[in-house]
Structure formats: C-alpha cells, structure tokens
Structure 1
Amino acid sequence: MGTESGGSMLTRFERILAPESLHVRVTRTLGRQVIRADQESTQIIFPNENGLCEQLGVSRTILREALKVLADKGMIEVRPRSGMRSLPRSNWNLLDPDILAWQSEENPDAGFLRDLCEIRLAMEPTAAGFAAVRANAEDMAEIEAALNRRVTADGKRIEDLIDLDLQLHACIMKASHNRLFQYLSEAIREPFRVALSYTLRSAAVRSLEVTAHQLLVDAIRRRDPLAARDAADKVVANLMVAVEHVIRRMEGRKANRSNDWVLLTTEPSADLR
C-alpha cells in the first residue's frame, strides 16, 4: 500500500478468484480492507470504478452493489467528482453482524478485544439475573447439560472448548427470555470466539473459567438473581484480566511477529495464576 500525505493511502485490492457468492465476497474483501486501514489509522482512497472493477475482476453491477452495502454500514462514502474514501470506525454500525464478523477475521486490536469484554460486562450479569428468575425446567436442563459438557471437557482441543463455552453462554441467554439479549449475544458470537481463542490457551484461565461458570449455574439453579449477577460479573472479569494479559503480549511482539505462537502459549504470568 502506498501512503499519501495527511494519513490517507492509495491501495491495490486482491482479485476475486471464485464466485462463492460474488457479491458477498466482494463486499467482504473491501470491508476487511477498510478495517485493516482503520487499524493502521489510515484512510483508503479507492480507485475509480473502472480501476476497481479491473483490480477485483468483477462487473460494475457487482461492485456497485458491494459499495452500496458498505456505504449503508457507514464504512465508506461515495461523493460525486471526489470519489470514494473509507470512513473511520466512529462512523460504522458497530453492531452490524458483517462488521463484527469481518473484525473477527482480522487480527483483533486491543480496542476491539476490550470492547467485546465491556459489551459482555454490560449484558451478561443482567441476563444471568433474569435467567435465575425466569428459567423453566427445559432451560435448566439445557444449562446443566452444557455445564457438564464443559466441566468434563479436560484435554479437548481449544476449538472444542470454545464451542462448549459458547453453547453454555447461549443457553443462559436463552433462559433470560429476553430476545434482545439473545440477538446481541448471537451478533458477537464469532468475535467472542476469536477472543476465547487467545485467552483459553492458558491453563490457569481455563481453570478459573470453569469454577466461575459452576458458581453461575449454581446461582441460577437456586433462583438467586443477585448471586447469578455476581457470578456472571466474575466470569467476565476473569476474561477481562486474561484479555489485558493477551494485549500486553500482542503489543510486546509487534517487533518480532515470528514469535507469535510461542508468546501465546507460554505459561501465564503471576496475575493469572
């Protein structure tokens, strides 16, 4: 990518190779490019329509559909005569499922990981309190089964543990009987998966998480909304500590990216033990 003065940049775009659903692929390609530019605190100046069609290898119809979607999401602006430019994150629809998914496909930055934790902190304790009051027999059976699968999952792959975590959270959200909580939880599911892929590499974090989830489910079982809120607070607080630990590691490895895997799998520091 070439950078212009004033923090703007000219860029080339990867050619779209296979028509999986061409419109979706073009939109995702351009959307992820905008996200990468924002992470680097730069602005994309798009080529003109003909040039962008040639670089991507798509028709004007497909390109225009993709650009309209991105404009509706607040990611780009299209101005007659002055062309197309990317917009900063402050303009984006941050709860848009596509934007959340595209951010999770990129290397998440510190701000994105912190935002995820804070969304959960704002939502999950309240949902847990409602679950303690509203859960019916079917809800409780699903929650108990999900917890049992997670507790007995020692030795499984990280990917399997993440799936089990997400299943348990989904069961608790369902038991809250609040459709908006369920919607928001589903919207951040894939980004949350990415955050867990970093934090659950630590054995100490996994142990803390299981204990916290057991306390949470016990509070819901006892129909104690205050205890459920407190337990959910602790679940998210443990994740927030782990995320801050990961962020320090990510910031420390910027100068030597070849050590990524080693740094992410070393033993946790004292604050996580």
Structure 2
Amino acid sequence: MKQRFTHLLAILALVVGVYGVFNEVFATKPEPTAFEHVEVPERKVRVWLANQTIERGSNFSAKLVEAEMRLEDEADFALLDLPYSKGAVFRHRIRPGEMLTPDDLITPDNPDYVDTIISNGMSAFPLAMEQRHIVAAGIKAGDFIDILALTSLQQNMARRDEVESPRDANIDVKPLLNQVRVLAVRGKTYDDQDLIHYSQDEASTMITLVLEIPHKFISKMTLARRLSALEVYKSRNQMYLPEAQTKDILPGYQGIVELRGSRRS
C-alpha cells in the first residue's frame, strides 16, 4: 500500500513537471513595451537682415531691415532687439541680406559715437546754448538744423540777448548755417510749448549740440558764439530762412546815422 502511494506521488510530480515545461514553452509571451520617440523642436529666434545696402553713418530705421526666424545655433551673435528712438547709426556698410549684430550699430551714449559717424573732411563742433534758444521739438542725433545769428553793433548779444534799446540796437538776423547735421545731444531739448510749463532755471539749462561742420567754418562758428545770440531750428526741406533787420519790425526805423564832415549818410 505504501509503495502504491509512493508511485502515485511520483506520477503526480511528473505530471506537474511536464505541465510546467509545456506552459513555459507554449505560453504567450507579453509584447515588449514600445517607447514613443518624441522629437524636441529646435528653438528659433527672430533675427534682422538688411533689405538694402546700408551706408556707414546712416541713421537706423526699421524700414532698412526685415525679420527672419532662424535656429538659435545660427544666431549666436545676432541683434535681437532693435534700437528704436535711441539715435543709433550704422558703424559700417551693410550689404543686402546680411544679418545684423549688436556691433553693427552704435548709439550716442557710446564714447566712440562721434568719431565713428563723422563724415570725411568734417569736424565736430560743440555748441553749448540755453534750452530756450533751441526752437525745436526733441532735437536728437541725426537731425539737421538751421542756425540763426542775432547781432547788434550796440551790444554783445552773446552776453545779453535782451535788447536794451530796440530803436538804437540795429539788430540783424542772418542765417549762419543751414542743414547742419547733429552728431550728438548732451541734455534734453523741448519745444516752445513745453517750455511754457518750466521754470526760468529749467528754460536756461545749458544744452550742448555736437555739430558736424566743415573745418573751414570752425572759426566762423567760434566768433559767432562769442558775439551773437544764436537760435537753432529744425531744418525744413528746401526752405531757406531769410535775413531780417530792425527796420523790418519797427516802423520808421532808420538805422545808424553816420556823419562824415558835412555829409550825412
């Protein structure tokens, strides 16, 4: 009896073993998990290209450039932010299609600004004057101005521009220079309407305009600055400021009467 029980256990163990082997061989294996490959998009940035030939010293304008999206790796040194309202000019000549870099532009706050943009054969002339004599709204680097000189034989208008005796002053107003390029402005300029709301001290604040003039005019400008009251206006295309004299303002004014012997002139 004991022997039969032993044989039964052996057969049962054999069946279990065969079943295990069969299940291992023929069992359905689970499908391997598929990992989806997600492609990370490459980052792009907006760069600026010249859409025409830009000459050295040209004032910056958004009309001279156009935007293009490029891969970040291709735009390591690209100019990303345009210098709006900063008086920026181009340091050198730019060909159409060239990508702009920060080194291509220079702004008035850069110490090398004036030397970079001044034209060949021209000189930089600093003209310091009171705010109230600048009759223009927000003159900035790159603008063109006209300069008027108020002179009198009776008083030095540069020292005091208030006329002591209008009928004896014999004042002349003459255009000194026209279409003068402003290279830089040291200080802030306002127009006449703005100055109404400012105190006398603010209206008398000194502003320095760095002008681009021919070298031969330096002596003329230096003398005019010492002897006349200067007024600055923004230039207008094809407009010339005429001369004026005291007699144009005061009716009946005869000017200076000079006696030479018995002859009156």
- Which bin holds the TM-score, normalised by the shorter protein? under 0.3
Higher strand fraction (1 or 2)? 2
Higher helix fraction (1 or 2)? 1
The structure with the larger Rg is: 2
TM-score (norm 2): 0.25
